[in-house]
Amino acid sequence: MSDRPDNLIQGERARLFPVLADTSKEGRTLSILLACMESVDGFGKSLLADLGIKAGARSKLETYTEVVLKKGSDKTARPDGLLILKTGSKTWSALVEAKVGNSELSSEQLDSYLEIAKLNGIDALITISNQFSPLPSHHPVQLSAASLKKATVLHWSWMYVLTQATLQLGNGDIEDKEQRIILNEMVRFLSHPSAGVKSFEQMPASWSAITGAVQAGGSISPKSNDVQEVVGAWYQEIRDLCLILSRQLGEDVNVKVPRVHASDPVARLKSDAQVLATENCLHATFVIPNTAGAILVSADFRKKSVFASMRVNAPADKKSTKARLNWLLRQLQKSKSDNVYIRLFWPGRGPFTQHPIAVLRETPEKAEENGKVATSFEVVFACDLGARFSQRRNFIVDLEHAIPEFYEQIGQHLKAWQPQAPKIKPEKNDAEDVNTAALRDEAEIEVANRNSSTE
């Protein structure tokens, strides 16, 4: 091909309808995705934007499959694809490696591709598989520090790709009719079981081991392989849950990660492993657009329960706890009361108080504390999983049912309190002020005259 990049010996432009052997499921699926990224302008650029790669209106994206590069490629080390983004005189490129079904990425294979990227001046390696990562920059496979210096390593799950395409179609982001048809066909293809696109279906065997250890009263080490594997699996599951909520709501739902951890996945894993070891809990924070606040989710190994909660400030224009609580309860009139509790937070650093929502609906005055007024509320949904908590697949099923149910019953109804906008005070009329002053002066003079005549 005359328009091939200089460092590409062999490669075909990605095709929507690839002619490949039946055994090449990965090649076929990746070719369709890359062709859609190149053909459907908004879709390809939105996926790259998620990686932090800006593509303007004049940027041109080229995609290739079955690539062989000048340096480092051989029969055993051939990346599945290549992306090239050209913006004026600037070029950004990335190798692509894809897995489908139960196939997983390996550190050995990725190490070889990173070496190829370095030798050929390629900026990044993008991997796509059914493994999930909380952020594109947090890779599900642990790589050595030396390998990570060769090129940027980024990751998408297939379910993420499918979700982004579904959102773009649902939100009307793709206006061109032909491009919408192409993207819709890709969604139809990826949604079929034969494409090998899967959700996160079960926790690892170490999940049951950690649950058993906690239930037996034993201690667990944050440095143990089991703990770190459980934390990694938790990251994958909460990412999958984000995508489930995104498809259900038609909006991008994201996991909130502290800034220091967003740039350092190793520090994040270490921190959450320590929390699991000391608190016997795993936590996650979901951010949904235009809601009253973030949704906090916890998996408690001691209680074998899942908790979801949202916190809102109490309305400052209401003077009593009962009045403030009624403001909250009115928002949740249609919500089910099963396993729902309200926590009241008070001035100072004292502990919160908690009551079942069913009790407060009947007698809100029970929440009052002498001499204190609640400053904020937290609505908590508690889901006791019992024996199912330790079961690797059932835990996933129950979690993915509980969190959407919490949002449907609670989250979508809550509204944050806002003070009323200030009102313009009527301005005094200058002429009226002068007349009023004149009348007052005349009255004072008349009183003075009266007093003098009396004397």
Average pLDDT over every residue of 429-445? 59
416 phi, psi to nearest 5 deg:
-75, 140
pLDDT in tens, 403-415: 999 999 999 999 9
Pairing of strands 152-157, 124-129: parallel
Average pLDDT over every residue of 419-427? 84
pLDDT value of residue 75: 62
pLDDT value of residue 446: 66
Q: Is the pLDDT of residue 453 over 60?
A: no
217: tokens are 């009263």
pLDDT value of residue 349: 83
Q: What are the beta bridge partners of residue 299? A: 282, 306
What's the DSSP call for residue 446? Answer: H
- Domain parsing of the chain, residue ranges: 8-195, 206-411
306: tokens are 């899942």
Q: What angle, 0 to 180 degrees and rounded to 10, lies between the N-to-C axes of helices 205-215 and 225-249? A: 110
Give the span between the Cα atoms of 251 and 168, in whole angstroms.
Answer: 10
Q: Which residues contact 398 (CB under 8 A, 6 or more apart)?
A: 306, 383, 385, 388
Q: Is the pLDDT of residue 436 over 90?
A: no
Residue 111: strand, helix, or coil:
helix
Give the span between the Cα atoms of 412 and 449, in whole angstroms.
Answer: 74
Q: Between the CA of residue 407 and those of 255, 277, 411, 430, what are the distances in Å? A: 15, 29, 4, 56
Give the span between the Cα atoms of 441 and 430, in whole angstroms.
Answer: 17
Q: Among residues 40, 63, 14, which one has the least CA distance to residue 169?
A: 40
Return the higher-pLDDT residue of 10 and 346. Answer: 346
Give the span between the Cα atoms of 14 and 33, in whole angstroms.
Answer: 8
Average pLDDT over every residue of 105-113? 93
Q: Is the pLDDT of residue 58 over 90?
A: no
Least confident of 193-207, 287-301, 441-455: 441-455
Q: Is the pLDDT of residue 47 over 90?
A: yes
CA angle (66, 132, 239) in 5-degree steps: 140
Give the span between the Cα atoms of 94 and 113, in whole angstroms.
Answer: 11
Q: Which residues contact 140 (CB under 8 A, 6 or more apart)?
A: 105, 129, 131, 132, 133, 155, 232, 236
Q: Is the pLDDT of residue 135 over 80?
A: yes
Q: Per mean pLDDT, which of 228-237, 258-267, 424-433 is the most reliable? A: 228-237
Give the span between the Cα atoms of 357 and 334, in whole angstroms.
Answer: 12
Q: Is the pLDDT of residue 282 over 50?
A: yes
pLDDT in tens, 360-374: 999 999 999 888 999
Neighbours of 446 (CB within 10 A): 10
pLDDT value of residue 12: 64
Per-residue confidence at 131, pLDDT binned at 50, 70, 90? very high
Residues of the chain with pLDDT > 70, as a percent, come to: 89
Question: What does pTM read for this prediction?
Answer: 0.81
Q: Which residues contact 221 (CB under 8 A, 6 or more apart)?
A: 227, 277
pLDDT value of residue 293: 95
Question: CA neighbours within 13 Å on the CB side: how many for 168?
Answer: 28
Per-residue confidence at 280, pLDDT binned at 50, 70, 90? very high
pLDDT value of residue 190: 92
Per-residue confidence at 437, pLDDT binned at 50, 70, 90? low
Give the span between the Cα atoms of 157 and 185, in whole angstroms.
Answer: 19
Q: Is the pLDDT of residue 2 over 50?
A: no
* Mean pLDDT, the chain, integer: 89
Return the higher-pLDDT residue of 450 and 311. Answer: 311
Q: What are the beta bridge partners of residue 343? A: 354, 378
279: tokens are 């608190």
Q: Which residues contact 441 (CB under 8 A, 6 or more apart)?
A: none
Average pLDDT over every residue of 220-240? 94
Per-residue confidence at 55, pLDDT binned at 50, 70, 90? confident
pLDDT in tens, 172-197: 888 889 999 999 999 999 998 888 89
pLDDT value of residue 1: 36
Give the span between the Cα atoms of 309 and 284, in whole angstroms.
Answer: 11
Average pLDDT over every residue of 417-445? 69
Average pLDDT over every residue of 335-347? 94
Per-residue confidence at 10, pLDDT binned at 50, 70, 90? low
Q: Is the pLDDT of residue 129 over 70?
A: yes
Q: Among residues 136, 169, 127, which one has the least CA distance to residue 40?
A: 169
Contact assessment for residue 110 and residue 143, using Cβ atoms and an 8 Å cutoff:
yes
Helix (H) or strand (E) holding 396: helix 392-406
Contact assessment for residue 360 and residue 342, using Cβ atoms and an 8 Å cutoff:
yes
Sequence-ordered alpha helix ranges (H) in 294-391: 321-331, 357-362
Return the higher-pLDDT residue of 26 and 436. Answer: 26
pLDDT value of residue 26: 83
Give the span between the Cα atoms of 116 and 120, in whole angstroms.
Answer: 6
Give the span between the Cα atoms of 134 and 266, in whole angstroms.
Answer: 13
